[in-house]
Copies of this chain bind each other. A is one copy, B any other.
């Protein structure tokens, strides 16, 4: 697929998308030849998403998805040219279109907060999404729509284009990372068979046993302070981080940035 040295730039202006991704943008052409397909992309993607939701991304193998649909493994490759394509479509489907988050005229901070919470919700409903190996920048309709919403929310800030992009990336990254932590905890719980309290308690006990207080005085103080012993409200960490970031953005908007 790598074009050779002599080939030069693609003159046709076309970056080739796999047919399945073009289908996601509504550009599919009905082939009108051959036998009628026994499956549809949507059915495949839905089955894969259901499987991921129920048993985690690890359960999503081509064979397993096919079995779920009563088809054979290889038949899926008539709809998708590789598993990574299925991943992209799964993310697009599970993300969905962004809801009405804020009426026009909403202040930027309130709007951005609504956006972040809504995105958090999407991730939390689909923790498997955080395990999908990356393939490229988001180039499917719903993902672009979420990005659009973030930019709209930032309209009232008056920041320039570059800054707005940077803020959306900072926020998106924050939300994603917060969800990733949740997904990791979830994995540990699922594989270790313990509730969150127990996982945290065990971690504290392990560290207390292993980490020499002379070498790690601050960590030791943390452990002794008891902060590690209880589980906060699950949104506390998100609330905290979001507030800090938005305070920082506010400083930029108001020209108080360092």
Contacts and interface: CB of A to CB of B under 8 A. Distances in A.
A125 B215 CA distance: 26
A237 B144 contact: no
B210 A145 contact: no
Contact of A258 (B141, B241, B247): B247
A244 to B, nearest CB: 3
Interface string A173-214: 110111011011001100011000000001101110111100
B251 A219 contact: no
A247 B246 contact: no
| Most B C-beta atoms less than 10 A away, residue of A131, A219, A228 | A219
A39 interface: no
B188 A181 contact: no
B170 A216 contact: no
A170 B148 CA distance: 25
Given A134-B187, A244-B170, A251-B251, A210 B161 contact: no
A235 interface: no
Contacts of A207: 139, 144
Contacts of A218: 148, 151-152, 155
B166 A219 contact: no
A181 B173 CA distance: 9
Interface in A162-178: 162-167, 169-170, 173-174, 176-178
User: Would you call the interface of chain A mostly helix, strand, loop, or mixed?
Assistant: helix
Given A177-B176, A187-B134, A203 B139 contact: yes
Interface residues of A, number: 85
A227 interface: yes
Interface string A212-255: 10011111011001011000000011001101111111111000
Interface of A: 1-3, 8, 10, 12-17, 25, 131, 133-137, 139, 141, 144-145, 147-148, 151-152, 155, 161-167, 169-170, 173-174, 176-178, 180-181, 183-184, 187-188, 192-193, 202-203, 205-207, 209-212, 215-219, 221-222, 225, 227-228, 236-237, 240-241, 243-252, 256-258
21 contacts: A8-B210, A8-B212, A17-B206, A136-B184, A141-B211, A148-B217, A161-B221, A164-B222, A165-B227, A166-B236, A166-B237, A166-B241, A167-B244, A170-B244, A177-B177, A244-B245, A245-B248, A247-B251, A247-B258, A248-B251, A250-B258
